[in-house]
Amino acid sequence: MNRIHFLNQLATSECPYNFGAGVPPLDQYPAFDPGYFYRVFLEEFPNKPVLHYHQSEGCLGEISQRVFQKDGFSEAKGGIITNGVQESITVAALLFKNACVACTDPYYPGFVDAVKMTGNKPFFIDGEHWLESLESLNPGSLFYLSADFANPTGKRLSLSEREQLVEIARRWDFYIFDDATYRPFFLDTPLPSLVSLAPERVFHALSFSKLLSPGLRIAMTHVPDKFLAAFTALKANISLNSSGFTQAIVGGWLLQNGLSLSAHLKEFKGTMMRKKQFLQNQGIEFEGGFFAIMEIKGRILDFEWCSKLLEMEGVAVCPMNLFSDTSSFNHKIRIAVAKTSVKNLEEGFMKMHKFVL
Protein backbone atom coordinates (compact mmCIF):
# COMPACT_ATOMS: atom_id res chain seq x y z
CA MET A 1 0.00 0.00 0.00
CA ASN A 2 1.21 3.55 -0.77
CA ARG A 3 2.58 5.07 2.45
CA ILE A 4 0.83 8.41 2.14
CA HIS A 5 -2.45 6.64 1.34
CA PHE A 6 -2.03 4.47 4.43
CA LEU A 7 -1.33 7.49 6.66
CA ASN A 8 -4.29 9.39 5.23
CA GLN A 9 -6.51 6.40 5.98
CA LEU A 10 -5.34 6.47 9.59
CA ALA A 11 -6.01 10.20 9.79
CA THR A 12 -9.67 9.67 8.94
CA SER A 13 -10.10 6.42 10.88
CA GLU A 14 -12.60 6.36 13.75
CA CYS A 15 -11.13 3.34 15.54
CA PRO A 16 -11.39 3.57 19.36
CA TYR A 17 -7.66 3.96 19.99
CA ASN A 18 -6.06 5.79 17.07
CA PHE A 19 -2.37 6.14 17.85
CA GLY A 20 -1.43 5.89 14.19
CA ALA A 21 -2.47 9.27 12.82
CA GLY A 22 -0.36 12.35 13.53
CA VAL A 23 -3.33 14.71 13.26
CA PRO A 24 -3.60 17.89 15.33
CA PRO A 25 -5.98 17.90 18.32
CA LEU A 26 -8.03 20.86 17.09
CA ASP A 27 -10.75 20.20 19.68
CA GLN A 28 -8.17 20.84 22.43
CA TYR A 29 -7.21 24.28 21.08
CA PRO A 30 -9.05 27.57 21.76
CA ALA A 31 -12.06 28.28 19.52
CA PHE A 32 -10.99 29.24 15.99
CA ASP A 33 -13.16 31.65 13.97
CA PRO A 34 -11.60 32.08 10.49
CA GLY A 35 -13.92 34.95 9.53
CA TYR A 36 -12.99 36.93 12.61
CA PHE A 37 -9.25 36.56 12.03
CA TYR A 38 -9.69 37.47 8.36
CA ARG A 39 -11.29 40.76 9.43
CA VAL A 40 -8.53 41.40 11.99
CA PHE A 41 -5.93 41.12 9.24
CA LEU A 42 -7.77 43.44 6.84
CA GLU A 43 -8.17 46.06 9.55
CA GLU A 44 -4.40 46.06 10.03
CA PHE A 45 -3.51 45.69 6.33
CA PRO A 46 -6.46 47.07 4.30
CA ASN A 47 -4.46 47.32 1.07
CA LYS A 48 -3.15 43.76 0.92
CA PRO A 49 -4.36 42.01 -2.30
CA VAL A 50 -5.73 38.98 -0.48
CA LEU A 51 -8.53 38.37 -3.00
CA HIS A 52 -6.38 38.99 -6.08
CA TYR A 53 -3.25 37.66 -7.73
CA HIS A 54 -0.17 38.73 -5.82
CA GLN A 55 3.56 38.14 -5.67
CA SER A 56 4.63 34.54 -5.22
CA GLU A 57 6.38 35.43 -1.96
CA GLY A 58 2.93 35.93 -0.41
CA CYS A 59 1.15 38.61 1.62
CA LEU A 60 2.71 37.91 5.02
CA GLY A 61 6.29 39.08 4.54
CA GLU A 62 6.34 41.59 7.39
CA ILE A 63 4.43 39.29 9.74
CA SER A 64 6.62 36.27 8.95
CA GLN A 65 9.71 38.34 9.69
CA ARG A 66 8.32 39.30 13.10
CA VAL A 67 7.26 35.70 13.82
CA PHE A 68 10.76 34.40 13.10
CA GLN A 69 12.29 37.18 15.20
CA LYS A 70 10.00 36.37 18.13
CA ASP A 71 11.25 32.78 17.90
CA GLY A 72 14.84 33.95 18.40
CA PHE A 73 15.92 34.44 14.77
CA SER A 74 16.98 38.08 15.10
CA GLU A 75 18.37 38.39 11.56
CA ALA A 76 15.13 37.22 9.93
CA LYS A 77 13.75 38.77 6.79
CA GLY A 78 10.34 38.04 5.31
CA GLY A 79 9.64 34.37 4.62
CA ILE A 80 8.19 32.79 1.49
CA ILE A 81 4.58 31.66 1.96
CA THR A 82 3.91 28.16 0.61
CA ASN A 83 1.00 25.73 0.51
CA GLY A 84 2.10 23.91 3.63
CA VAL A 85 5.59 22.66 4.40
CA GLN A 86 5.11 19.90 1.84
CA GLU A 87 5.23 22.43 -1.01
CA SER A 88 8.35 23.96 0.51
CA ILE A 89 9.93 20.49 0.61
CA THR A 90 8.97 19.90 -3.03
CA VAL A 91 10.45 23.23 -4.15
CA ALA A 92 13.69 22.50 -2.28
CA ALA A 93 13.84 19.01 -3.83
CA LEU A 94 13.52 20.57 -7.28
CA LEU A 95 16.12 23.18 -6.42
CA PHE A 96 18.62 20.43 -5.51
CA LYS A 97 17.51 17.81 -8.04
CA ASN A 98 21.02 17.58 -9.52
CA ALA A 99 22.76 17.44 -6.15
CA CYS A 100 23.00 14.94 -3.33
CA VAL A 101 19.88 15.16 -1.15
CA ALA A 102 20.17 13.35 2.17
CA CYS A 103 18.12 12.52 5.25
CA THR A 104 18.41 10.22 8.24
CA ASP A 105 16.98 6.71 8.41
CA PRO A 106 14.19 6.38 9.55
CA TYR A 107 12.75 9.12 7.37
CA TYR A 108 9.68 11.25 6.73
CA PRO A 109 7.93 9.73 3.66
CA GLY A 110 6.75 13.11 2.36
CA PHE A 111 10.36 14.20 1.91
CA VAL A 112 11.58 10.97 0.32
CA ASP A 113 8.64 10.83 -2.10
CA ALA A 114 9.21 14.47 -3.13
CA VAL A 115 12.87 13.78 -3.89
CA LYS A 116 12.01 10.70 -5.95
CA MET A 117 9.42 12.71 -7.89
CA THR A 118 12.22 14.96 -9.19
CA GLY A 119 14.09 11.94 -10.58
CA ASN A 120 16.69 12.14 -7.82
CA LYS A 121 17.45 9.41 -5.31
CA PRO A 122 17.65 10.27 -1.59
CA PHE A 123 20.83 9.37 0.26
CA PHE A 124 20.06 7.78 3.63
CA ILE A 125 22.23 8.44 6.68
CA ASP A 126 22.29 6.13 9.68
CA GLY A 127 20.20 7.79 12.37
CA GLU A 128 22.47 6.56 15.16
CA HIS A 129 25.72 8.02 13.79
CA TRP A 130 24.32 10.80 11.65
CA LEU A 131 26.66 13.63 12.66
CA GLU A 132 29.79 11.69 11.73
CA SER A 133 28.20 10.53 8.47
CA LEU A 134 27.46 14.09 7.33
CA GLU A 135 31.14 14.57 6.54
CA SER A 136 30.65 12.27 3.55
CA LEU A 137 28.27 14.73 1.85
CA ASN A 138 29.52 16.53 -1.24
CA PRO A 139 29.70 20.33 -1.30
CA GLY A 140 26.37 21.77 -2.40
CA SER A 141 24.32 18.89 -0.95
CA LEU A 142 21.04 19.32 0.95
CA PHE A 143 20.40 17.60 4.27
CA TYR A 144 16.78 17.33 5.47
CA LEU A 145 15.77 16.88 9.11
CA SER A 146 13.44 18.11 11.82
CA ALA A 147 15.54 19.52 14.64
CA ASP A 148 12.53 19.61 16.96
CA PHE A 149 10.47 16.46 17.59
CA ALA A 150 10.97 14.76 14.24
CA ASN A 151 8.40 12.64 12.46
CA PRO A 152 8.57 9.65 12.93
CA THR A 153 11.05 9.38 15.83
CA GLY A 154 9.88 12.29 17.99
CA LYS A 155 13.52 13.13 18.75
CA ARG A 156 14.82 16.64 19.38
CA LEU A 157 18.41 17.70 18.75
CA SER A 158 20.36 18.87 21.78
CA LEU A 159 22.02 22.29 21.75
CA SER A 160 25.39 20.61 21.24
CA GLU A 161 24.07 18.64 18.25
CA ARG A 162 22.66 21.82 16.70
CA GLU A 163 25.96 23.63 17.07
CA GLN A 164 27.92 20.68 15.67
CA LEU A 165 25.52 20.33 12.72
CA VAL A 166 25.85 23.93 11.53
CA GLU A 167 29.62 23.83 12.05
CA ILE A 168 29.87 20.68 9.90
CA ALA A 169 27.59 22.22 7.25
CA ARG A 170 29.83 25.28 7.00
CA ARG A 171 33.01 23.21 6.94
CA TRP A 172 31.78 20.81 4.23
CA ASP A 173 29.73 23.43 2.37
CA PHE A 174 26.28 21.80 2.36
CA TYR A 175 22.82 23.14 3.19
CA ILE A 176 20.12 22.15 5.67
CA PHE A 177 16.34 21.95 5.34
CA ASP A 178 14.83 22.11 8.83
CA ASP A 179 11.19 21.02 8.86
CA ALA A 180 10.00 22.98 11.92
CA THR A 181 6.43 21.65 11.86
CA TYR A 182 6.58 20.43 15.47
CA ARG A 183 8.89 23.10 16.91
CA PRO A 184 6.11 24.95 18.85
CA PHE A 185 5.19 21.77 20.75
CA PHE A 186 7.99 21.89 23.33
CA LEU A 187 7.15 20.99 26.92
CA ASP A 188 10.10 22.64 28.66
CA THR A 189 12.25 25.39 27.14
CA PRO A 190 12.68 25.86 23.37
CA LEU A 191 16.19 25.43 22.03
CA PRO A 192 17.69 27.82 19.45
CA SER A 193 16.48 27.10 15.93
CA LEU A 194 19.06 25.98 13.39
CA VAL A 195 18.25 28.99 11.22
CA SER A 196 19.13 31.36 14.07
CA LEU A 197 22.56 29.69 14.21
CA ALA A 198 23.27 29.64 10.45
CA PRO A 199 20.75 31.64 8.35
CA GLU A 200 22.97 31.41 5.28
CA ARG A 201 22.87 27.59 5.43
CA VAL A 202 19.35 26.73 6.60
CA PHE A 203 15.94 26.51 4.94
CA HIS A 204 13.53 26.85 7.88
CA ALA A 205 9.95 25.79 7.12
CA LEU A 206 7.23 26.53 9.67
CA SER A 207 3.79 24.93 9.27
CA PHE A 208 0.43 26.10 10.64
CA SER A 209 -1.19 22.73 9.94
CA LYS A 210 -0.49 21.21 13.34
CA LEU A 211 -0.76 24.29 15.56
CA LEU A 212 -3.80 25.93 13.93
CA SER A 213 -5.52 24.00 11.12
CA PRO A 214 -4.30 21.70 8.32
CA GLY A 215 -7.12 22.95 6.09
CA LEU A 216 -5.43 26.35 5.76
CA ARG A 217 -2.41 24.89 3.89
CA ILE A 218 -0.10 27.73 4.92
CA ALA A 219 3.59 27.61 5.83
CA MET A 220 6.37 30.18 6.16
CA THR A 221 9.85 29.36 4.87
CA HIS A 222 13.10 31.22 5.41
CA VAL A 223 15.26 30.70 2.32
CA PRO A 224 19.01 31.50 2.32
CA ASP A 225 19.73 34.59 0.20
CA LYS A 226 21.72 32.54 -2.31
CA PHE A 227 18.61 30.53 -3.27
CA LEU A 228 15.85 33.09 -2.76
CA ALA A 229 15.26 34.05 -6.40
CA ALA A 230 15.39 30.45 -7.68
CA PHE A 231 13.13 29.18 -4.87
CA THR A 232 10.55 31.90 -5.58
CA ALA A 233 10.60 31.17 -9.32
CA LEU A 234 9.99 27.46 -8.74
CA LYS A 235 7.19 28.23 -6.29
CA ALA A 236 5.60 30.52 -8.91
CA ASN A 237 5.65 27.74 -11.50
CA ILE A 238 4.10 25.21 -9.13
CA SER A 239 1.25 27.23 -7.64
CA LEU A 240 1.76 30.91 -8.60
CA ASN A 241 0.91 32.01 -5.07
CA SER A 242 -0.71 30.62 -1.95
CA SER A 243 -4.31 31.53 -1.14
CA GLY A 244 -4.52 35.17 -0.08
CA PHE A 245 -7.70 34.37 1.81
CA THR A 246 -6.08 31.75 4.05
CA GLN A 247 -2.94 33.87 4.42
CA ALA A 248 -5.14 36.65 5.82
CA ILE A 249 -6.73 34.23 8.30
CA VAL A 250 -3.32 33.09 9.53
CA GLY A 251 -2.08 36.68 9.64
CA GLY A 252 -5.07 37.82 11.69
CA TRP A 253 -4.65 34.89 14.07
CA LEU A 254 -0.98 35.76 14.58
CA LEU A 255 -1.77 39.42 15.22
CA GLN A 256 -4.45 38.47 17.73
CA ASN A 257 -2.03 36.11 19.51
CA GLY A 258 0.87 38.52 19.75
CA LEU A 259 2.78 36.68 16.99
CA SER A 260 3.27 33.73 19.34
CA LEU A 261 3.17 30.23 17.86
CA SER A 262 2.63 28.48 21.16
CA ALA A 263 0.83 30.75 23.67
CA HIS A 264 -2.52 29.16 22.76
CA LEU A 265 -1.13 25.68 23.52
CA LYS A 266 -0.82 26.18 27.28
CA GLU A 267 -3.78 23.99 28.26
CA PHE A 268 -2.92 21.37 25.63
CA LYS A 269 0.66 21.18 26.91
CA GLY A 270 -0.62 20.56 30.42
CA THR A 271 -2.37 17.46 29.09
CA MET A 272 0.74 16.46 27.16
CA MET A 273 2.81 16.62 30.34
CA ARG A 274 0.54 13.99 31.87
CA LYS A 275 0.96 11.84 28.76
CA LYS A 276 4.72 12.31 29.00
CA GLN A 277 4.69 11.00 32.56
CA PHE A 278 2.60 7.99 31.53
CA LEU A 279 4.91 7.17 28.60
CA GLN A 280 8.00 7.47 30.76
CA ASN A 281 6.41 5.08 33.24
CA GLN A 282 6.13 2.65 30.31
CA GLY A 283 9.84 3.08 29.57
CA ILE A 284 9.16 5.20 26.47
CA GLU A 285 11.09 8.41 25.82
CA PHE A 286 9.00 11.49 25.03
CA GLU A 287 10.15 15.13 25.01
CA GLY A 288 7.39 16.88 23.09
CA GLY A 289 5.82 17.01 19.65
CA PHE A 290 3.34 14.37 18.49
CA PHE A 291 5.28 11.07 18.36
CA ALA A 292 7.03 8.44 20.46
CA ILE A 293 8.67 5.13 19.57
CA MET A 294 7.74 1.85 21.27
CA GLU A 295 9.87 -1.29 20.97
CA ILE A 296 8.67 -4.86 21.53
CA LYS A 297 11.67 -7.15 21.32
CA GLY A 298 11.20 -10.56 19.78
CA ARG A 299 8.24 -9.48 17.63
CA ILE A 300 8.16 -8.39 13.99
CA LEU A 301 5.93 -5.32 14.12
CA ASP A 302 4.99 -5.07 10.45
CA PHE A 303 1.78 -4.14 8.61
CA GLU A 304 0.33 -7.58 9.30
CA TRP A 305 0.94 -7.27 13.07
CA CYS A 306 -0.52 -3.76 13.12
CA SER A 307 -3.55 -4.88 11.10
CA LYS A 308 -4.26 -7.69 13.58
CA LEU A 309 -3.88 -5.28 16.51
CA LEU A 310 -6.42 -2.96 14.90
CA GLU A 311 -8.84 -5.76 14.08
CA MET A 312 -8.70 -7.50 17.47
CA GLU A 313 -8.19 -4.61 19.92
CA GLY A 314 -9.25 -1.48 18.01
CA VAL A 315 -5.77 0.04 18.41
CA ALA A 316 -4.14 1.75 15.41
CA VAL A 317 -0.37 2.26 15.31
CA CYS A 318 2.25 2.68 12.57
CA PRO A 319 4.99 0.10 12.00
CA MET A 320 8.38 1.82 11.94
CA ASN A 321 9.31 -0.10 8.80
CA LEU A 322 6.85 2.27 7.09
CA PHE A 323 9.60 4.89 7.55
CA SER A 324 12.64 2.80 6.64
CA ASP A 325 13.74 0.47 3.85
CA THR A 326 15.94 -1.54 6.22
CA SER A 327 15.10 -4.21 8.78
CA SER A 328 16.57 -2.18 11.64
CA PHE A 329 13.17 -1.03 12.88
CA ASN A 330 11.16 -4.25 12.54
CA HIS A 331 10.64 -4.40 16.32
CA LYS A 332 9.37 -0.84 16.70
CA ILE A 333 6.14 1.08 16.17
CA ARG A 334 5.37 4.79 16.07
CA ILE A 335 2.81 6.01 18.60
CA ALA A 336 0.98 9.29 17.85
CA VAL A 337 -0.05 10.74 21.20
CA ALA A 338 -1.21 14.31 20.53
CA LYS A 339 -4.90 13.82 19.79
CA THR A 340 -5.79 11.02 22.21
CA SER A 341 -6.83 11.68 25.82
CA VAL A 342 -4.74 10.48 28.76
CA LYS A 343 -7.45 7.94 29.64
CA ASN A 344 -7.62 6.71 26.05
CA LEU A 345 -3.85 6.38 25.95
CA GLU A 346 -3.80 4.32 29.15
CA GLU A 347 -6.60 2.03 27.94
CA GLY A 348 -4.97 1.59 24.54
CA PHE A 349 -1.68 0.56 26.11
CA MET A 350 -3.49 -2.00 28.27
CA LYS A 351 -4.97 -3.48 25.10
CA MET A 352 -1.57 -3.55 23.39
CA HIS A 353 0.00 -5.33 26.36
CA LYS A 354 -2.87 -7.84 26.32
CA PHE A 355 -2.39 -8.38 22.57
CA VAL A 356 1.36 -8.96 22.96
CA LEU A 357 0.85 -11.47 25.76
Between 82 and 4, the higher pLDDT residue: 82
* 16 and 38 part of one domain: no
* 73 and 150 part of one domain: yes
Q: Residue 127: what pLDDT?
A: 83
Q: Residue 296: what pLDDT?
A: 92
Poorest-pLDDT segment among 111-115, 225-229, 301-305: 301-305
pLDDT at 14 over 90: no
% the chain with pLDDT above 70: 96
pLDDT at 27 over 60: yes
pLDDT at 141 over 60: yes
270 in a domain, yes or no? Answer: no
Find the mean pLDDT for residues 232-252: 96
Find the mean pLDDT for residues 106-118: 96
E strand map for the chain? 17-18, 80-82, 101-105, 123-126, 142-145, 175-179, 202-207, 219-222, 291-295, 315-316, 318-319, 332-336
User: 274: pLDDT confidence band, cut at 50, 70 and 90?
Assistant: very high
What's the pTM value of the predicted model, to 2 decimals?
A: 0.95
* Burial class of residue 47, CB neighbours in 10 A (0-12, 13-18, 19+): exposed
Determine the structural domain holding residue 177 and report its residue range. Answer: 34-256
Q: Residue 7: what pLDDT?
A: 65
Q: Residue 283: what pLDDT?
A: 96
Q: CATH number, domain at 151?
A: 3.40.640.10
Between 15 and 233, the higher pLDDT residue: 233
Q: How many CB atoms lie within 10 A of CB 119?
A: 10
* 65 and 149 part of one domain: yes
* 157 and 243 part of one domain: yes
d(CA 336, CA 186) in angstroms, rounded, equals 15
* 205 and 315 part of one domain: no
The mean of the pLDDT values for the chain is 95
* Burial class of residue 302, CB neighbours in 10 A (0-12, 13-18, 19+): middle
283 in a domain, yes or no? Answer: no
158 in a domain, yes or no? Answer: yes
261 in a domain, yes or no? Answer: no
Query: Cβ contacts of residue 174 below 8 Å, gap of 6+?
Result: 134, 137, 138, 139, 140, 141, 142, 143, 201
